[in-house]
Amino acid sequence: MPSSAHPRGQAIADAAARVIPGGVNSSTRYIGAPYSFASAEGAYVVDADGNRYLDYHAAFGAILLGHNAAVVNDAVRATIGGIDLVGLGVTEGEVALAERVVEIIPSAESMIATMSGSEAVAQAIRLARGVTGRDLVVKFQGGFHGWSDAVARNVISAPDKAYGSDPLSSGILPQALDSTLIAEFNDLDSVTALFDQYPDRVAAVIMEPIPHNVGALLPTTEFVSGLRKLTEVNDALLIFDEVITGLRHSLGGYQEVIGITPDLTTFGKGLANGYASGGVAGRRDLMEHFNGRTGDVLLAGTFNGNPIGCAAALATIGYLQEHPDFYERTFALGDRMRTGLTEIVTELDIEATALGFGGVFVLYFTKPPILGYRDLMRNNDEAYVAFHRGMTERGFLMLPMALKRNHISGAHTAEDVDRTLDAARDVLVELRATGTV
């Protein structure tokens, strides 16, 4: 859709820029046209000018069942008017949510609630350092774990900064950045080398089981099981950041899929289908350090475990427990999308690889193998952005930023996927004609 199709959205964006830094409340939200959104339902969103998009962005994956899912909204409506925020003691909703999380997540013996995944990660990192008395944390190049100082480095890094010093922001103390070490995903030797270099100093290894923040790098079982053994031998914790993978790929998260249990798990996004909710779960002996009476790690947050977030999360989990076919459907649609994209790029002789897991799909513009971030540095980022931009202009909302993933929700259909593939063919033909690919 040409920019002329967005006059009202442009006016709203201009007004936002006068009162909000950059015009958006999160740095990756500014994408140009479409500038502003007015409504959402099922698999679709509508912008301020009435243009309708099939949504594959899904609020960075927070929309799991589909926009405005009735079962979730009904639970929220039932809560509003009964209890709002008290901020003392505990509510039945908080207890019920913790019980449900302990029931479904293999690593969970106890849980704390937060408002977001970023907060959950910050709490988990602090807990790991508090429990072990150690100062260092290992993360992987390309992994994103929120905005907190401890992990705000080395995500989508330029080749000259990858694996070196690549902070996401100014204003972070150098010692905070230096206390997080960088390894290569699917490369156990790179992690072992850090343990050898810093003996008895690594508190935890944190990982996205599938690094969806750079698309969909798929872990090998040998790599993850090796991490489990390596952390155990070195008395360090293994943290799975399941903020994206949690609930999306399995009711028990990706740890249930791969059959390897971490010490701690962080979650958020799809947990409450778009409502603010997140948390940390793990071994009881570790989690008890958050105990306000006997523990030594601070747990604080006025909105932690708020009634609306708990109601939405309980409804989302409840729906998935009652509808196991959700995973059959989204996995089948994801396979249909990846297969279709593979057939198109093969037919057009374009150097590209369709990857993903479950309902998450990406089209990398490079050849396999694609196992770690080093492989992603071969990606044609210009083509990646142009493909997503071309799809969005045709009414299929995909974040026009290199390495960002796409999500199939419970509201998408096979017909939606087929229409998407038809549009993808048109975009790719155009990109080939212009020499972009």
User: Confidence band (pLDDT; 50, 70, 90) for 400?
Assistant: very high
Q: Over the stretch 318-353, which tens digit does the pLDDT of each residue have?
A: 999 999 999 999 999 999 999 999 999 999 999 999
Mean pLDDT of 67-91: 96
- At 399, is the secondary structure helix, strand, or coil? coil
Which domains, ranges and CATH numbers included, belong to the chain?
A: 3-68+324-433 (3.90.1150.10), 70-322 (3.40.640.10)
Structure tokens at 237: 């914790």
- pLDDT mean over 224-244: 98
Average pLDDT over residues 238-249: 97
Q: What percent of the chain has pLDDT over 70?
A: 99
Across the chain, mean pLDDT equals: 97
> What integer pLDDT is reported at residue 9 of this predicted model?
95
Residue 348 is given by DSSP the state T
pLDDT band at 371 (very low <50, low <70, confident <90, very high): very high
Cα dist from 206 to 8, 236, 287, 409, 425, whole Å: 43, 11, 17, 27, 38
Letter string b/e over residues 143-155, b meaning 16 or more CB atoms within 10 A of that residue's CB: bbbbbbbbbbbbb
Q: What is the pLDDT of residues 101-142, one digit of tens each?
A: 999 999 999 999 999 999 999 999 999 999 999 999 999 999
| Tokens representing residue 43 in the block | 């698999």
Quick one: pLDDT band at residue 5, thresholds 50, 70, 90? confident
Contacts of residue 95, Cβ cutoff 8 Å, sequence gap at least 6: none
Sheet (strand 44-47) strand order: 37-41, 44-47, 52-55, 396-397
**What letter would DSSP give residue 361?**
E
Q: Which two tokens stand for residue 360?
A: 């998450």
Q: Does the pLDDT value for residue 428 go beyond 60? A: yes
Distances (CA, A) of 374 to 186, 348, 366, 369: 11, 26, 12, 10
Angle between helices 70-79 and 307-322 (to 10 degrees): 140
Burial of 318 (0-12, 13-18, 19+ CB in 10 A): middle
Tell whether the model's pLDDT for residue 3 goes beyond 80: no
The whole-angstrom separation of Cα 290 and Cα 335 is 41
pLDDT for residue 1? 62
Segment 372-393 mean pLDDT: 98
Q: Any idea what DSSP says for residue 217?
A: P
Helix (H, G, I), strand (E, B) or coil at 138: strand
